[in-house]
Amino acid sequence: MIGKPLSLYFHIPFCTKKCPYCNFYVLPNKPIFQEKLIDGLRQEWKQLTPLIEKGTLVSLYFGGGTPSLFDLKYLQEILSWIPSQEIEITLEANPEDLSLEKAKALRAAGINRLSLGVQSLDDELLKKIGRNHSASQAINRCEKAGFENLSIDLMYDLPGQTLSTWEKTIQTAVKLPITHVSLYNLTIEPHTSFYRSQKAIESQMPGDETSLQMYIRAQEMLQSHGLTQYEISAFGTPSLHNSGYWSGRNFLGLGPSAFSFWEGTRKRNICHLNRYQKMVASGLRPIDFTETLPPLAQEREKLAINLRLLKGVSDLPIDRECLKIIDSLIADGFLKKNAGSISLTQKGILFYDTVASEIIL
Protein backbone atom coordinates (compact mmCIF):
# COMPACT_ATOMS: atom_id res chain seq x y z
CA MET A 1 0.00 0.00 0.00
CA ILE A 2 1.29 3.49 -0.82
CA GLY A 3 1.18 5.79 2.20
CA LYS A 4 0.46 9.51 2.33
CA PRO A 5 3.25 11.86 1.17
CA LEU A 6 5.71 12.58 3.96
CA SER A 7 8.66 14.92 4.41
CA LEU A 8 11.50 14.71 6.92
CA TYR A 9 13.37 17.57 8.54
CA PHE A 10 16.67 17.23 10.46
CA HIS A 11 17.69 20.15 12.67
CA ILE A 12 21.47 20.57 12.73
CA PRO A 13 21.97 23.43 15.21
CA PHE A 14 25.67 24.28 14.78
CA CYS A 15 26.95 27.72 13.78
CA THR A 16 30.42 29.21 13.88
CA LYS A 17 28.95 32.37 15.42
CA LYS A 18 25.49 33.65 16.21
CA CYS A 19 24.09 36.22 13.79
CA PRO A 20 22.71 39.28 15.60
CA TYR A 21 19.17 38.81 14.22
CA CYS A 22 18.91 35.04 14.77
CA ASN A 23 16.50 33.46 17.22
CA PHE A 24 16.87 29.83 16.10
CA TYR A 25 18.19 27.18 18.45
CA VAL A 26 21.92 27.17 17.66
CA LEU A 27 25.04 25.84 19.36
CA PRO A 28 28.78 26.35 18.87
CA ASN A 29 30.24 23.85 16.46
CA LYS A 30 32.11 21.40 18.73
CA PRO A 31 32.89 17.71 18.03
CA ILE A 32 31.33 16.66 21.35
CA PHE A 33 28.04 18.34 20.39
CA GLN A 34 28.15 16.73 16.96
CA GLU A 35 28.58 13.28 18.58
CA LYS A 36 25.67 13.93 20.93
CA LEU A 37 23.48 15.01 18.06
CA ILE A 38 24.16 12.01 15.83
CA ASP A 39 23.67 9.72 18.81
CA GLY A 40 20.31 11.36 19.55
CA LEU A 41 19.27 11.27 15.90
CA ARG A 42 20.03 7.52 15.70
CA GLN A 43 17.70 6.91 18.65
CA GLU A 44 15.01 9.25 17.39
CA TRP A 45 15.13 7.65 13.93
CA LYS A 46 14.43 4.27 15.58
CA GLN A 47 11.49 5.78 17.48
CA LEU A 48 10.01 7.27 14.32
CA THR A 49 10.66 4.38 11.93
CA PRO A 50 7.12 2.92 12.27
CA LEU A 51 5.62 6.31 11.33
CA ILE A 52 8.11 6.92 8.54
CA GLU A 53 7.28 3.51 7.08
CA LYS A 54 3.60 4.48 6.95
CA GLY A 55 4.27 7.35 4.55
CA THR A 56 5.73 7.84 1.11
CA LEU A 57 8.84 9.93 1.50
CA VAL A 58 8.94 12.86 -0.92
CA SER A 59 11.58 15.17 0.52
CA LEU A 60 14.24 15.49 3.16
CA TYR A 61 15.64 18.76 4.47
CA PHE A 62 18.70 19.46 6.62
CA GLY A 63 18.05 22.84 8.28
CA GLY A 64 19.70 24.70 11.08
CA GLY A 65 21.89 26.16 12.28
CA THR A 66 24.36 25.47 9.55
CA PRO A 67 24.03 21.85 8.42
CA SER A 68 27.05 22.22 6.13
CA LEU A 69 29.12 22.21 9.36
CA PHE A 70 27.88 18.73 10.29
CA ASP A 71 30.57 16.11 9.74
CA LEU A 72 30.16 14.57 6.29
CA LYS A 73 30.30 11.06 7.73
CA TYR A 74 27.23 11.87 9.87
CA LEU A 75 25.31 13.27 6.91
CA GLN A 76 26.23 10.13 4.95
CA GLU A 77 25.04 7.96 7.82
CA ILE A 78 21.65 9.72 7.93
CA LEU A 79 21.28 9.40 4.17
CA SER A 80 21.98 5.67 4.47
CA TRP A 81 18.82 5.34 6.62
CA ILE A 82 16.59 6.76 3.89
CA PRO A 83 14.80 4.11 1.83
CA SER A 84 15.03 6.06 -1.44
CA GLN A 85 17.39 8.82 -2.48
CA GLU A 86 15.29 9.59 -5.57
CA ILE A 87 13.67 12.44 -3.64
CA GLU A 88 14.46 16.12 -3.10
CA ILE A 89 17.27 16.28 -0.53
CA THR A 90 18.13 19.83 0.53
CA LEU A 91 20.92 21.02 2.76
CA GLU A 92 21.15 24.56 4.11
CA ALA A 93 24.69 25.82 3.79
CA ASN A 94 26.73 28.87 4.60
CA PRO A 95 28.53 29.98 1.43
CA GLU A 96 31.72 30.49 3.49
CA ASP A 97 31.91 26.77 4.25
CA LEU A 98 31.71 25.53 0.70
CA SER A 99 35.00 24.75 -0.97
CA LEU A 100 34.76 22.95 -4.32
CA GLU A 101 35.83 19.69 -2.61
CA LYS A 102 33.18 20.07 0.08
CA ALA A 103 30.46 20.82 -2.47
CA LYS A 104 31.50 17.80 -4.55
CA ALA A 105 31.47 15.58 -1.45
CA LEU A 106 27.97 16.76 -0.51
CA ARG A 107 26.73 16.08 -4.02
CA ALA A 108 28.31 12.62 -4.01
CA ALA A 109 26.66 11.90 -0.64
CA GLY A 110 23.23 12.34 -2.24
CA ILE A 111 22.36 15.98 -1.46
CA ASN A 112 20.70 17.28 -4.65
CA ARG A 113 19.60 20.76 -3.60
CA LEU A 114 21.47 23.44 -1.67
CA SER A 115 19.85 26.35 0.09
CA LEU A 116 22.48 29.02 0.62
CA GLY A 117 22.12 31.67 3.31
CA VAL A 118 23.43 34.47 1.13
CA GLN A 119 21.32 37.30 2.69
CA SER A 120 22.98 40.05 0.68
CA LEU A 121 25.53 40.48 -2.07
CA ASP A 122 26.66 43.81 -0.65
CA ASP A 123 29.86 43.42 1.40
CA GLU A 124 29.25 46.52 3.55
CA LEU A 125 25.79 45.32 4.54
CA LEU A 126 27.06 41.83 5.25
CA LYS A 127 29.48 43.28 7.78
CA LYS A 128 26.62 45.16 9.48
CA ILE A 129 24.57 41.99 9.94
CA GLY A 130 27.58 40.03 11.16
CA ARG A 131 28.07 37.93 8.02
CA ASN A 132 31.16 37.69 5.96
CA HIS A 133 31.34 35.77 2.73
CA SER A 134 31.74 35.95 -0.94
CA ALA A 135 28.61 34.20 -2.02
CA SER A 136 28.93 34.63 -5.77
CA GLN A 137 32.09 32.50 -5.94
CA ALA A 138 30.52 29.91 -3.64
CA ILE A 139 27.46 29.58 -5.88
CA ASN A 140 29.62 29.15 -8.95
CA ARG A 141 31.62 26.45 -7.11
CA CYS A 142 28.39 24.62 -6.24
CA GLU A 143 27.35 24.60 -9.88
CA LYS A 144 30.79 23.26 -10.82
CA ALA A 145 30.35 20.54 -8.21
CA GLY A 146 27.23 19.31 -10.03
CA PHE A 147 24.38 21.06 -8.18
CA GLU A 148 21.62 21.91 -10.62
CA ASN A 149 19.17 22.95 -7.94
CA LEU A 150 20.51 25.95 -6.05
CA SER A 151 18.45 28.21 -3.85
CA ILE A 152 19.54 31.41 -2.14
CA ASP A 153 18.03 33.41 0.71
CA LEU A 154 18.04 37.17 0.32
CA MET A 155 17.17 39.67 3.06
CA TYR A 156 15.71 43.12 2.77
CA ASP A 157 14.86 45.74 5.39
CA LEU A 158 18.43 45.53 6.62
CA PRO A 159 19.97 48.46 8.55
CA GLY A 160 21.63 50.83 6.09
CA GLN A 161 20.09 49.12 3.05
CA THR A 162 18.59 51.33 0.34
CA LEU A 163 16.34 50.54 -2.59
CA SER A 164 19.32 50.99 -4.88
CA THR A 165 21.68 48.63 -2.95
CA TRP A 166 18.86 46.08 -2.79
CA GLU A 167 18.38 46.31 -6.57
CA LYS A 168 22.11 45.78 -7.05
CA THR A 169 21.97 42.64 -4.92
CA ILE A 170 19.15 41.25 -7.05
CA GLN A 171 20.89 42.23 -10.28
CA THR A 172 23.95 40.28 -9.14
CA ALA A 173 21.88 37.36 -7.90
CA VAL A 174 19.99 36.79 -11.15
CA LYS A 175 23.25 36.43 -13.07
CA LEU A 176 24.23 33.48 -10.87
CA PRO A 177 23.36 29.84 -11.70
CA ILE A 178 20.46 29.73 -9.23
CA THR A 179 17.05 28.09 -9.63
CA HIS A 180 15.29 29.48 -6.57
CA VAL A 181 15.20 32.57 -4.35
CA SER A 182 13.58 32.96 -0.93
CA LEU A 183 13.04 36.51 0.30
CA TYR A 184 13.07 37.47 3.96
CA ASN A 185 12.63 40.81 5.59
CA LEU A 186 14.59 41.48 8.75
CA THR A 187 12.44 41.12 11.82
CA ILE A 188 13.84 41.96 15.22
CA GLU A 189 13.02 39.03 17.47
CA PRO A 190 13.35 38.83 21.25
CA HIS A 191 16.50 37.15 22.59
CA THR A 192 18.67 38.42 19.73
CA SER A 193 21.54 40.85 19.78
CA PHE A 194 19.59 43.20 17.46
CA TYR A 195 16.72 43.16 19.96
CA ARG A 196 19.03 44.46 22.67
CA SER A 197 19.98 47.44 20.48
CA GLN A 198 16.59 47.66 18.83
CA LYS A 199 16.28 51.45 18.83
CA ALA A 200 19.62 52.04 17.12
CA ILE A 201 18.97 49.27 14.58
CA GLU A 202 15.42 50.40 13.81
CA SER A 203 16.57 53.94 13.14
CA GLN A 204 18.80 52.57 10.35
CA MET A 205 16.17 50.31 8.81
CA PRO A 206 14.51 51.45 5.56
CA GLY A 207 10.94 52.10 6.82
CA ASP A 208 7.58 50.70 5.70
CA GLU A 209 7.21 52.48 2.36
CA THR A 210 10.75 51.61 1.16
CA SER A 211 10.31 48.09 2.46
CA LEU A 212 7.21 47.65 0.32
CA GLN A 213 9.06 49.07 -2.70
CA MET A 214 11.93 46.64 -2.09
CA TYR A 215 9.56 43.70 -2.15
CA ILE A 216 7.79 44.93 -5.31
CA ARG A 217 11.11 45.53 -7.11
CA ALA A 218 12.26 42.04 -6.13
CA GLN A 219 9.05 40.58 -7.59
CA GLU A 220 9.55 42.48 -10.86
CA MET A 221 13.25 41.81 -11.23
CA LEU A 222 13.22 38.12 -10.28
CA GLN A 223 10.26 37.36 -12.52
CA SER A 224 11.74 39.22 -15.46
CA HIS A 225 14.70 36.84 -15.16
CA GLY A 226 12.51 33.75 -15.30
CA LEU A 227 12.23 33.14 -11.55
CA THR A 228 8.46 32.90 -11.37
CA GLN A 229 6.85 33.68 -8.06
CA TYR A 230 4.94 30.66 -6.71
CA GLU A 231 4.61 31.66 -3.05
CA ILE A 232 4.64 34.93 -1.16
CA SER A 233 8.36 34.76 -0.49
CA ALA A 234 9.54 32.14 -2.99
CA PHE A 235 10.52 32.37 -6.66
CA GLY A 236 11.78 29.88 -9.24
CA THR A 237 11.63 26.08 -9.33
CA PRO A 238 9.27 25.22 -6.48
CA SER A 239 10.83 23.58 -3.44
CA LEU A 240 9.02 20.27 -3.02
CA HIS A 241 9.83 20.33 0.68
CA ASN A 242 8.62 23.83 1.47
CA SER A 243 5.54 23.39 -0.72
CA GLY A 244 4.60 20.60 1.68
CA TYR A 245 4.53 23.05 4.61
CA TRP A 246 2.17 25.31 2.68
CA SER A 247 -0.11 22.52 1.51
CA GLY A 248 -0.46 20.70 4.85
CA ARG A 249 1.68 17.60 4.09
CA ASN A 250 2.72 15.45 7.05
CA PHE A 251 6.31 16.06 8.12
CA LEU A 252 8.46 14.73 10.90
CA GLY A 253 11.24 16.82 12.42
CA LEU A 254 14.23 15.19 14.12
CA GLY A 255 16.79 16.87 16.36
CA PRO A 256 16.51 19.47 19.13
CA SER A 257 13.91 22.21 18.45
CA ALA A 258 12.61 20.47 15.30
CA PHE A 259 8.89 20.81 14.56
CA SER A 260 6.64 18.02 13.25
CA PHE A 261 3.16 18.09 11.77
CA TRP A 262 1.32 14.79 11.70
CA GLU A 263 -2.38 14.39 10.88
CA GLY A 264 -3.28 17.84 12.19
CA THR A 265 -1.10 17.77 15.31
CA ARG A 266 1.93 20.02 15.63
CA LYS A 267 4.79 19.06 17.93
CA ARG A 268 8.12 20.57 18.83
CA ASN A 269 11.20 18.81 20.12
CA ILE A 270 12.92 20.16 23.21
CA CYS A 271 15.36 23.03 22.51
CA HIS A 272 18.25 21.56 24.49
CA LEU A 273 20.77 19.12 23.05
CA ASN A 274 21.70 17.36 26.33
CA ARG A 275 18.11 16.87 27.42
CA TYR A 276 17.11 15.84 23.91
CA GLN A 277 19.82 13.18 23.84
CA LYS A 278 18.97 11.90 27.31
CA MET A 279 15.27 11.67 26.55
CA VAL A 280 15.68 9.72 23.32
CA ALA A 281 18.33 7.48 24.95
CA SER A 282 15.82 6.51 27.63
CA GLY A 283 13.14 5.73 25.07
CA LEU A 284 11.11 8.94 25.59
CA ARG A 285 9.85 11.13 22.78
CA PRO A 286 11.81 14.42 23.15
CA ILE A 287 8.74 16.62 22.80
CA ASP A 288 8.02 19.77 24.82
CA PHE A 289 5.08 21.21 22.90
CA THR A 290 2.02 19.63 21.30
CA GLU A 291 -0.93 21.41 19.72
CA THR A 292 -4.02 20.04 18.00
CA LEU A 293 -6.41 22.76 16.94
CA PRO A 294 -10.16 22.08 16.96
CA PRO A 295 -11.39 20.98 13.48
CA LEU A 296 -12.80 24.37 12.48
CA ALA A 297 -9.65 26.25 13.51
CA GLN A 298 -7.57 23.63 11.68
CA GLU A 299 -9.54 24.13 8.49
CA ARG A 300 -9.15 27.92 8.73
CA GLU A 301 -5.42 27.72 9.42
CA LYS A 302 -4.94 25.30 6.53
CA LEU A 303 -6.75 27.69 4.18
CA ALA A 304 -4.65 30.68 5.30
CA ILE A 305 -1.38 28.75 4.86
CA ASN A 306 -2.48 27.22 1.53
CA LEU A 307 -3.21 30.70 0.20
CA ARG A 308 0.49 31.52 0.46
CA LEU A 309 0.85 29.43 -2.70
CA LEU A 310 -0.12 31.70 -5.57
CA LYS A 311 -1.76 28.91 -7.57
CA GLY A 312 -4.61 29.29 -5.08
CA VAL A 313 -6.93 26.93 -3.27
CA SER A 314 -9.79 24.94 -4.79
CA ASP A 315 -10.64 22.90 -1.71
CA LEU A 316 -12.74 25.60 -0.04
CA PRO A 317 -14.03 25.32 3.51
CA ILE A 318 -17.69 24.59 4.16
CA ASP A 319 -17.78 26.86 7.22
CA ARG A 320 -20.35 29.57 6.34
CA GLU A 321 -18.68 32.23 8.44
CA CYS A 322 -15.43 31.59 6.59
CA LEU A 323 -17.16 31.75 3.19
CA LYS A 324 -18.47 35.20 4.18
CA ILE A 325 -14.97 36.32 5.10
CA ILE A 326 -13.70 35.06 1.73
CA ASP A 327 -16.43 37.05 -0.06
CA SER A 328 -15.49 40.23 1.79
CA LEU A 329 -11.76 39.66 1.08
CA ILE A 330 -12.72 39.30 -2.61
CA ALA A 331 -14.82 42.50 -2.45
CA ASP A 332 -11.89 44.35 -0.83
CA GLY A 333 -9.50 43.19 -3.55
CA PHE A 334 -7.31 40.89 -1.43
CA LEU A 335 -8.50 37.66 -3.08
CA LYS A 336 -9.72 36.74 -6.55
CA LYS A 337 -11.88 33.90 -7.80
CA ASN A 338 -10.89 31.68 -10.71
CA ALA A 339 -13.16 28.85 -11.84
CA GLY A 340 -13.95 27.50 -8.39
CA SER A 341 -10.63 28.36 -6.75
CA ILE A 342 -9.47 31.43 -4.87
CA SER A 343 -6.04 33.01 -4.82
CA LEU A 344 -4.27 36.13 -3.60
CA THR A 345 -4.30 39.28 -5.72
CA GLN A 346 -1.19 41.48 -5.73
CA LYS A 347 -2.83 43.49 -2.91
CA GLY A 348 -3.38 40.21 -1.03
CA ILE A 349 0.28 39.25 -1.54
CA LEU A 350 1.49 42.60 -0.22
CA PHE A 351 -0.89 42.52 2.75
CA TYR A 352 -1.01 38.79 3.38
CA ASP A 353 -0.93 39.32 7.17
CA THR A 354 -4.31 41.06 6.91
CA VAL A 355 -5.74 38.16 4.88
CA ALA A 356 -4.39 35.55 7.31
CA SER A 357 -5.61 37.40 10.39
CA GLU A 358 -9.13 37.64 8.91
CA ILE A 359 -9.25 33.91 8.16
CA ILE A 360 -7.51 32.37 11.16
CA LEU A 361 -9.68 31.88 14.22
Positions touching ligand SF4 (CB under 6 A) are: 15, 18-19, 22, 24, 26, 64-66, 94, 117
Torsion on CA atoms 187, 350, 230, 361, rounded to nearest 10? 80
Q: Check: CB of residue 133 under 8 Å from CB of residue 120.
A: no
Give the nearest distance from C-beta 120 to ligand SF4 in angstroms. Answer: 13
> Closer CB to ligand SF4, residue 24 or residue 259?
24
Other Cβ atoms closer than 10 A to 35: 13
Give the nearest distance from C-beta 65 to ligand SF4 in angstroms. Answer: 5
* Amino acid occupying residue 270: I
Cα dist from 26 to 82, 168, 258, whole Å = 25, 31, 12
Any idea what the Cα angle at residue 297 is, between residues 295 and 299, rounded to 5°? Answer: 70
Give the nearest distance from C-beta 18 to ligand SF4 in angstroms. Answer: 5
Rg (CA), the chain: 21
Q: Which of 63, 170, 153 is nearest to 111 (CA)?
A: 63
Give the nearest distance from C-beta 24 to ligand SF4 in angstroms. Answer: 5
Other Cβ atoms closer than 10 A to 234: 24
> Closer CB to ligand SF4, residue 132 or residue 274?
132
> Closer CB to ligand SF4, residue 22 or residue 60?
22
> Closer CB to ligand SF4, residue 9 or residue 334?
9
Q: Please identify the residue of the shown chain whose CB is closest to the bound ligand SF4.
A: 22
Q: Check: CB of residue 26 under 8 Å from CB of residue 15.
A: yes
Give the nearest distance from C-beta 229 to ligand SF4 in angstroms. Answer: 24
Q: How far is 107 from 109, CA to CA, in rounded Å? A: 5
Give the nearest distance from C-beta 119 to ligand SF4 in angstroms. Answer: 8
DSSP secondary structure code for residue 271 in this structure: S
> Closer CB to ligand SF4, residue 53 or residue 189?
189
Give the nearest distance from C-beta 93 to ligand SF4 in angstroms. Answer: 10
> Closer CB to ligand SF4, residue 7 or residue 94?
94
> Closer CB to ligand SF4, residue 26 or residue 342?
26
Inter-residue long-range contacts of 125-131, CB under 8 Å, 24+ positions, other chains counted? 125/158, 125/160, 125/161, 125/165, 128/158, 128/159, 128/160, 129/19, 129/20, 129/21, 129/155, 129/158, 129/159, 129/186, 130/17, 130/19, 130/20, 130/193, 131/19
